[in-house]
Amino acid sequence: MKVLSLLLAFVTFPLAAYAAFGYTDNGSEYVIDSGASLVIKVSKTNGDISSMVYNGVEYQGYSGRNTQVEAGLGSSTVTIEQFSSPAPIIKVAVVYKSLKHYIVVRSGNDNVYLFTNKGDDSVAASRYIVRLKGGIFSHEETESDYIDSSETVEAHDILINSDGYTKSKHYQGSNYGRVIDFDYVGRSTDSVGVWLIRSNHEKASGGPFFRSLVCDAGPETESLYEIYFYSMGHTDPQRFGLQGPTVLSFTGGEAPNSALFAQNADWSWIDTLGIDGWTTWADRGWISGVGISGMKLGYEYTVGLSNTDAQYWTKVSSGAAWMIKHVLPGTYTLTVYKKELEVFTSEVTISAGKGSAMHTITLNDDPADVNAIWRIGDWDGTPAGFLNFDAEPMLPTYMHPSDGRLSPWKSGNFIVGTSDNNTFPGYMWTDVNNGHLVYFKLSKEQYTSAHTIRVGLTEAYINGRPQITVNEWTSKLQTASSQGGTRSLTVGTYRGNNVVFSFDVPASAWVQSTSEWQVLKINVVSGSTGSGYLSPAISFDCVDMI
């Protein structure tokens, strides 16, 4: 009997995995065979993927949860259609209130193409989640998003394990953290790779440097995420319309096909599928540039396009040339970023099916172009180089700021000309390390004149902003910057809106001596309250005096 059972298992699984391309209806699900090695089941109730069998092995789900839009749609209208041209294709269409979701399978490959058209904010759907069985893929205990913890550090989603490591699905680190840095996320063994290849994010929010969760795991769970709109540290308005394709790809363990990456893909085959909101490949435009003047050595530059409807970006080549392809027609703000800092903006118009070329761009808004009497850090839109951010990976993107692997945030006073930048705190909270002191000296010519102290921020929490005192002089309280309304620094991101606070210090504020120290004190102030690492806070970009 045992031998018979094994034979039946051997026969059943390969037949299910290697049948001809097509679909069947089992009453509650559409069973779709790729004609290669993948068979999926799609719920006829709500469009969930309820089964993913690759080479005869089930990879779908944990705790009764499916692969789905957000946490699953409610009762929906689910239909299926098979095309023969331009190639054998199966399309599942899911309609839930103002949202339309599509699942597409092409004959002969093990990819699932996913689209979501969110018409408005009446449906709380901003991500697609692939849920996999736990225990298939190996993990190190030190992985920041491998949740084997039991004690809560903050809210319900930041924990600490028995080794004292803080853990959260938010902690994606320096490599996966920014959208521009990854084409896909996933897990693999010697026999299978499960990959979620991100879309071009044209209708997503946050821009090229936006940070959010991309995956998490536990002993019995495994999840991959495609995030289109995410509230944590969010500063960009939500965009509506068609997202995708995001590609769920199965391989024999190797990395996914790079032809599926957003910057490489040719999606012209989607044109005839009747996907609501899709703009045909030929009706998209492009823009290119021959060069950028004023770039500084040692920095990566990015060109981005954005308006209320769409966003795009590309890295600038070493020769300063660049091109952004497959852009929806419209008028956009073009921004050049030095690392993550905006150093040039202009307006451009993209026409359907046409391209345009820009002459050499001359950068005109880099704060580093102004000669400084002294400067702490770099003007690059990040806290890189400061305390706890002085090496890759930048540890606060992998862990809670209270983690014992970090240096204490309340560091010693900073002495201009003597102290290294990595002794200056990258983050400052009213309840943790407020009132940092900077000591410097001035020449007679300098102390007889007024000067400006600039404090650059990349993020602020609950209306935190800097106020300074210089010796006995105190600056006026400035208006808070526009930032996200949720947690930020504690969920692994310093990315908000870059802003520069300028303080005009009169000559009367200086100690009238070349030998005595001038003392600058930087405080975080706010009309809001909080405690510990959830007290008002700021993330530094650069501090200088001009």
For residues 410-429, give the mean pLDDT: 98
**pLDDT tens-digit profile of 235-261?**
888 999 999 999 999 999 999 999 999
- Token pair of 333, please? 């703000």
Ranges 388-392, 430-434, 514-518: which has the least confidence: 388-392
Residue 15 has pLDDT above 80, yes or no: no
pLDDT of amino acid 233: 75
Q: Are 312 and 202 in contact (CB under 8 A)?
A: yes
Q: Are 300 and 318 in contact (CB under 8 A)?
A: no
- Token pair of 336, please? 């050049």
Residue 51 has pLDDT above 60, yes or no: yes
Eight-state DSSP code of residue 105: E
How is 447-475 classified by DSSP, letter by letter?
A: HTS-EEEEEEEEEEETT-EEEEEETTEEP
pLDDT of amino acid 28: 98
Ranges 171-180, 190-199, 384-393: which has the least confidence: 171-180
pLDDT of amino acid 14: 38
For residues 428-443, give the mean pLDDT: 98
**pLDDT tens-digit profile of 88-123?**
999 999 999 999 999 999 999 999 999 999 999 999
Confidence of residue 11 (pLDDT cuts 50, 70, 90): very low
pLDDT of amino acid 1: 33
Confidence of residue 150 (pLDDT cuts 50, 70, 90): confident
Eight-state DSSP code of residue 175: H
Give how far the C-alpha of residue 103 lies from the chain's centroid of Cα atoms, to the nearest Å: 24
Query: Which amino acid is residue 187, in one-letter code?
Result: R
Question: What global pTM score does this model have?
Answer: 0.94
Residue 327 has pLDDT above 70, yes or no: yes
Residue 4 has pLDDT above 80, yes or no: no
14, containing H or E segment: helix 2-17
How is 296-355 classified by DSSP, letter by letter?
A: -TT--EEEEEE-SS-EEEEEPPTTS-EEEEEEPSEEEEEEEEETTEEEEEEEEEE-TT-E
For residues 476-492, give the mean pLDDT: 95
**pLDDT tens-digit profile of 255-299?**
999 999 999 999 999 999 999 999 999 999 999 999 999 999 999
As a whole number of Å, the end-to-end CA separation of the chain is 86
The residue written with tokens 């009213």 in the block is: 430
CA distance 148 to 159: 9
Residue 306 has pLDDT above 90, yes or no: yes
Give how far the C-alpha of residue 240 lies from the chain's centroid of Cα atoms, to the nearest Å: 18
Q: Are 81 and 32 in contact (CB under 8 A)?
A: no
**pLDDT tens-digit profile of 492-540?**
999 999 999 999 999 999 999 999 999 999 999 999 999 999 999 999 9
Domains with residue ranges and CATH for the chain? 2-268 (2.70.98.10), 281-365 (2.60.40.1120), 368-545 (2.60.120.260)
Query: Which amino acid is residue 365, in one-letter code?
Result: D
- Token pair of 344, please? 């040039």
CA distance 120 to 111: 28
Question: Which residues, including other chains, have CB under 8 Å from residue 162's CB and lie 6 or more apart?
Answer: none
| Positive/negative CA dihedral, 201, 202, 208, 209 | negative
Give how far the C-alpha of residue 98 lies from the chain's centroid of Cα atoms, to the nearest Å: 26
CA distance 522 to 377: 15
Confidence of residue 220 (pLDDT cuts 50, 70, 90): very high
Eight-state DSSP code of residue 255: P
pLDDT of amino acid 175: 66
Give how far the C-alpha of residue 294 lies from the chain's centroid of Cα atoms, to the nearest Å: 28
Eight-state DSSP code of residue 256: P
Strands 292-293 and 361-362: parallel
